[in-house]
Structure 1
Amino acid sequence: MTAAISRFPVPSLSDLPEDIRARIEATAAKSGFVPNVMLALAHRPDEFRAFFAYHDALMAKEGGLSKAEREMIVVATSAANQCQYCVIAHGAVLRIRAKNPLIADQIATNYRKADLTPRERAMLDFAMKVALSSHQIEDEDYILLLDHGFSREDCWDIAAIAAFFGMSNRLANSLAFRPNDEFYRMGRE
């Protein structure tokens, strides 16, 4: 028996609008499988488009944060939000981008004990504050990031990634998105 990937109906690729089908097929061609989150979110095409437009604006752009650092934020905050899908899926991407088979598990379990640089630790401390107690953020939090070499735009990116994935975590948890089995093996060897 195959476990459901969402609490809601999952459309077949042939029933999707062309732009969404093309996006999913391009991802499958690159990764070798279709991430379940894409199929689950395709249940609502307009929201699929909006979700992935913002996702890409945050995660695929060039800037002061490396792609591995962006994934660190996702894994740490998703672990705090107990989002299995995002911890597993983005943990796989983090292992690949960091070229480190241990880092995702370390961050997901307790980022404070992970093998991080002081800069990465400051970044994750701030991201966790955004994820768990954003009402307590003060100018001093930004000063600390600037002291670690982040630009003001980097600070925005850290906050935006943590906030976006807070929404994503809540959606994935409430709709019961199931991570693909493939993610568990990626980047471990």
Structure 2
Amino acid sequence: MARFPVPSFDDLPEDLQERIADEADRAGFTPNVFSAFAYKPSHFRAFFEYHDALVEDSALEREEVEMIVVAVSGVNHCYYCNVAHGALVRIYADDPMLADQLVANYRTADIGEAHRTMLDVAVKLTERPTEVGPADLEALREVGFSDEAIWDIGAVTAYYNMSNRMATFAEIRPNDEFHTLGR
């Protein structure tokens, strides 16, 4: 994080140390977003608690969540999320090229109609939120998304628009490890 100091791990509250250590054990390294958000422990807790709710209590498949993140992050030019969540798309979708396609132009990615519609709505919510209306929700229903899944599409989109803006604002850079995961 270039614009704010990254706190020392040893100076963090115990619950943040535990969460970061768990993530480092799972990933094999500490994702920079964990170190960066530790700058404000109360924000760290809220940020990751909501993140966990979005991915653990979702009507969407994990690869769909990550597809939304990457498409939205591509539109927002969020370097951290393009790279970090691009790695997660590659892993969850078991597709080494999909993330690159989504970042460059999701409209030309090798995805089906349901996922294209999902990403159309997510990108519209990102770029022109006041234009999202009943026809967009109906389009999602027509391709098979339940109302709960539609809610989750909106929630993931909104959360990652906020996350993209914080990562850009604070200049959080992706770990080198993310560039090669899932390739």
Query: Normalising TM by the smaller chain, what interval?
Result: over 0.9
Identity %: 50
Tell me which amino acid in the other structure corresponds to 2:11. D
Alignment of 1:77-88 (within 5 A): 77-88=72-83
- The alpha-carbon distance between structure 1 residues 55 and 6, as it changes in their structure 2 partners (threshold 3 A), is farther
CA distance in 2, matches of 1:68, 1:6: 30
Give CA-to-partner distance per residue, 1:128-185, whole Å, 9 cap, x none: 0111111001111111000000001111110111111111111110110010000000
Q: In 2, distance between residues paired with 1:26 and 1:52?
A: 13
What residue is the counterpart of 1:26 in the other structure?
22
Structure 2 Cα separation of the partners of residues 60 and 183 of structure 1: 22
Could you tell me which residue of structure 2 aligns to residue 38 of structure 1? Answer: 34
Over the residues paired in the alignment, what is the CA RMSD in angstroms?
A: 0.8
Q: CA deviation at 1:62?
A: 4.2
Read off the aligned partner of 1:101 and give its amino acid letter.
P
The two structures have a TM-score, normalised by structure 2, of 0.98
Q: Distance in 1 between matches of 2:133 and 2:41?
A: 38
TM-score using structure 1 length: 0.95
- Asked if the contact 2:58/2:152 (under 8 Å) is kept, the reply is no
Report the equivalent of 1:169: 164
Q: Which runs of 5+ in 1 are unaligned?
A: none
The residue number in structure 1 matching 2:154 is 159
Match of 1:181 in 2: 176
Q: Which residue does the alignment assign to 2:86?
A: 91
